[in-house]
């Protein structure tokens, strides 16, 4: 799994130190000669993303499944702590994404976060990061599969075994990831965003004129401004909020396929974070304040029965787009590793039988594993929490802290700004370690409780039980 790229700074024109004090290099001086990586060598040039292509790709990558869990997080934490967590973790994810760009400017030959880990820690950290990347993207795709099975069961009144619905969802996602460039992902950005926002709007409007589906007659809504969660409940809620900002793992891959990442990525990142934090906050507050104690996760099930069915039908394009975006990241990583192992990196972007057979084979293996994970953990909330605890904490927050230390080694105490950033990045690493330990305990015990709950239709792994939201 180890790669053989050079681990030294390329000879390029240095520019002034950036606002964080790390020396960066310009790849904008010669716009017709972008930094070289395997996506711009031989065959078809994969470096096709412009500024707005990247905006749509980032939105597709991040604004999806995560938003459906946020109203229930406010139910647990309360409105004020929940909103603080959404805005705070979103701001942190924006900063850590910018650190990824700083690192990419220094080492433009990288094509994913795993390559970055190889530069920082050598082959052992690279292998560990590769395994972590695959776990993360596979868990995200599995959560998309679970959401699709919930949608299919909700729309059909559980007309089919849930394992069968999961199989249909996975096969459809496999077909969507057959195209080999992320340009296709960016092209789904607008319909995906319209899909998720329309579904959320339907839920909010329906709750404004009628009670939640599960509310009894004469129900009076009571809003918890500040919740009283247990340690496990509060930690699981924060893990689900982290999941909503889990897109960072794919950002380096998008940089590698951008025509001019140094110039265009900061604007695309700013658009993404402003849009996502705003949408997450508005949707979470609106649905929770309207549904109260009957807020569900995914949130679409909070609506009355008919609007909930309509919302689950409308949200399907967004869920498929999420599966496609993260599936592309995982499959492309496996594909690049296999092509390097076969000493065929010069064929990565060509249209030969060898490259296409390798791509389809990697995709098929990938989705088979996702199918197993989705059936083994068939609960939306649990798969989000476990995914956040195992890998998202590191790929969204912790690794960026490690990369910052690598970029700034030798000048960590240069001035007061540097010292503040030193403290911040140290806390990001500590946060990731805490979420690993405490998060895994809380999320796995929550899943066991669901399996043991007599009122739950999900009795265990590979269950045919009805997991519909209404």
Q: What is the pLDDT of residues 78-101, one digit of tens each?
A: 999 999 999 999 999 999 999 999
Distance CA 438, CA 267 (A): 35
Q: Give residue-wise pLDDT tens across range 240-267.
A: 898 889 888 889 988 988 989 999 999 9
Mean pLDDT of 399-406: 95
Distance CA 330, CA 366 (A): 8
Q: Give residue-wise pLDDT tens across range 319-352.
A: 898 888 889 989 999 998 999 899 888 888 888 8
How high is the pLDDT of residue 190?
80
Under 8 Å between Cβ of 268 and 51: yes
How high is the pLDDT of residue 5?
43
CA distances (Å), origin 455, targets 59, 234, 458, 459, 465 = 37, 23, 9, 9, 12
Distance CA 284, CA 293 (A): 13
Distance CA 86, CA 237 (A): 10
Distance CA 392, CA 245 (A): 9
How high is the pLDDT of residue 103?
96
Distance CA 103, CA 406 (A): 9
Buried b (16+ CB within 10 A) or exposed e, 366-399: bbeebbebbbebbbbbbbbbbbbbbbbbbbbbbb
CA dihedral 169, 393, 409, 417 (to 10 degrees): 120
- What is the CA 349 to chain-centroid distance, rounded? 25
Q: Which of 353, 319, 376, 361 is nearest to 150 (CA)?
A: 319
Residues in the chain: 470
The winner for highest mean pLDDT among 140-154, 225-239, 418-432 is: 418-432
Q: Give residue-wise pLDDT tens across range 186-205.
A: 777 788 888 988 999 999 99
How high is the pLDDT of residue 344?
85
Distance CA 347, CA 108 (A): 20
- Mean pLDDT, the chain, integer: 83
How high is the pLDDT of residue 419?
95
**Phi, psi (deg, nearest 5) at residue 114:** -65, -40
**Phi, psi (deg, nearest 5) at residue 14:** -70, 145
Q: Identify the weakest region by mean pLDDT among 14-28, 425-439, 453-467.
A: 14-28
291 pLDDT above the threshold of 70: yes
Q: Which domains does the chain have, with CATH numbers?
A: 46-452 (1.20.1740.10)
How high is the pLDDT of residue 21?
43
Q: Which of 377, 455, 444, 449 is nearest to 149 (CA)?
A: 377
Token couple for 369: 């594993």
8 pLDDT above the threshold of 50: no
Q: Which of 206, 182, 215, 458 is nearest to 314 (CA)?
A: 206
Distance CA 426, CA 420 (A): 10
Q: Give residue-wise pLDDT tens across range 206-239.
A: 999 988 888 888 788 888 899 989 888 898 888 8
């Amino acid at each position: 799994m180890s790669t053989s790229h050079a681990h030294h700074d390329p000879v390029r024109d240095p520019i002034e130190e950036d606002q964080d004090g790390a020396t960066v290099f310009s790849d904008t001086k010669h716009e017709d000669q972008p930094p070289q990586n395997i996506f711009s060598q031989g065959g078809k040039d994969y470096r096709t993303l412009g500024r707005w292509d990247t905006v749509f790709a980032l939105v597709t990558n991040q604004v999806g499944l995560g938003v459906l869990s946020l109203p229930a997080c406010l139910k647990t934490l309360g409105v004020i702590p929940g909103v603080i967590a959404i805005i705070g973790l979103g701001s942190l994810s924006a900063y850590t994404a910018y650190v990824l760009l700083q690192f990419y400017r220094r080492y433009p030959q990288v094509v994913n976060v795993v390559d970055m880990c190889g530069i920082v820690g050598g082959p052992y950290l690279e292998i560990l990061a590769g395994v972590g990347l695959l776990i993360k993207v596979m868990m995200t795709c599995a959560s998309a599969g679970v959401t699709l099975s919930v949608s299919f069961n909700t729309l059909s009144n559980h007309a089919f075994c849930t394992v069968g619905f999961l199989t249909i969802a996975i096969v459809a996602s496999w077909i969507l990831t057959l195209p080999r460039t992320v340009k296709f992902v960016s092209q789904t950005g607008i319909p995906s965003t319209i899909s998720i926002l329309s579904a959320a709007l339907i839920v909010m409007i329906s709750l404004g004129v009628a009670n939640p589906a599960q509310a009894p007659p004469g129900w009076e809504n009571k809003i918890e401004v500040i919740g009283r969660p247990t340690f496990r409940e509060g930690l699981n809620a924060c893990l689900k909020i982290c999941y909503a900002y889990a897109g960072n793992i794919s950002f380096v891959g998008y940089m590698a396929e951008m025509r001019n990442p140094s110039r265009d990525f900061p604007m695309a990142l700013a658009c993404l974070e402003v849009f996502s934090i705003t949408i997450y906050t508005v949707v979470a507050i609106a649905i929770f304040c309207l549904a109260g104690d009957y807020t569900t996760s995914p949130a679409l099930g909070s609506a009355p029965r008919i609007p909930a069915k309509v919302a689950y039908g409308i949200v399907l394009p967004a869920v498929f787009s999420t599966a496609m975006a993260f599936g592309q990241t995982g499959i492309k990583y496996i594909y690049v590793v296999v092509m390097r192992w076969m000493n065929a990196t010069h064929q990565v972007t060509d249209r030969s039988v060898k490259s296409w057979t390798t791509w389809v084979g990697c995709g098929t293996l990938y989705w088979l594993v996702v199918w197993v994970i989705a059936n083994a953990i068939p609960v939306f909330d649990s798969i989000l929490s476990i995914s956040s605890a195992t890998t998202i904490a590191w790929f969204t927050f912790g690794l960026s802290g490690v990369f910052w230390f690598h970029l700034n080694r030798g000048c960590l105490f240069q001035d007061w700004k540097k010292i503040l950033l030193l403290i911040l990045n140290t806390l990001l690493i500590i946060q990731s370690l805490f979420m690993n330990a405490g998060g895994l305990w809380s999320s796995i015990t929550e899943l066991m409780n669901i399996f043991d709950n007599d009122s739950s239709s999900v009795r265990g792994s590979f269950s045919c039980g009805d997991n519909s939201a209404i």
